[in-house]
Amino acid sequence: MTLSRMIRFGLVGVVNTGTYYLLYLLFTLFLPYLVAHVCAFMISMVGSYFLNCYFTFRIRPTLKKFLLFPLSNATNFVVQSVGLYVLVSLLHMNHIVAPLLAAAVAIPITFVIAKLILLGPDRTAVASEANSSL
């Protein structure tokens, strides 16, 4: 069950990234690039929240979860940024390839944070116990 959720989470990430990038390109036609980045990021994060609720975790969205969801995106940003720095500056990896590896490392961590936010610690623990008893 968790593997299928992780796959769905990854698919949502691909859709979210594409949405962000298209919105960013559109907004840069009439906004400064940083404003375009923030607007595109915020809109795509809202879409990501609803896709993750309905498609990844199959739960009903709530205002509380909606307000907490940006924590998973902040976690992703920090993990990718630190990972990119470590890979390029400390391990001297190519800066073209390093973001892909940093993103791959961030996905499972972001998944766990999103799962805790969207399902809560009680349902997450119950799901883990049910899976381990099979």
* Tens of each residue's pLDDT in the chain, 134 residues: 678 888 998 899 889 888 988 999 999 999 988 888 889 889 999 999 999 999 999 999 999 999 988 888 888 888 888 888 999 899 999 887 887 788 888 888 888 888 898 888 765 444 444 444 44
Residue 9 backbone dihedrals phi, psi, to 5 degrees: -60, -45
Q: Are 56 and 16 in contact (CB under 8 A)?
A: no
Per-residue tokens: 104: 């791959």
- Please provide the DSSP assignment of 3-45 as one string: HHHHHHHHHHHHHHHHHHHHHHHHHTTTS-HHHHHHHHHHHHH
For residue 110, give the amino acid letter.
T
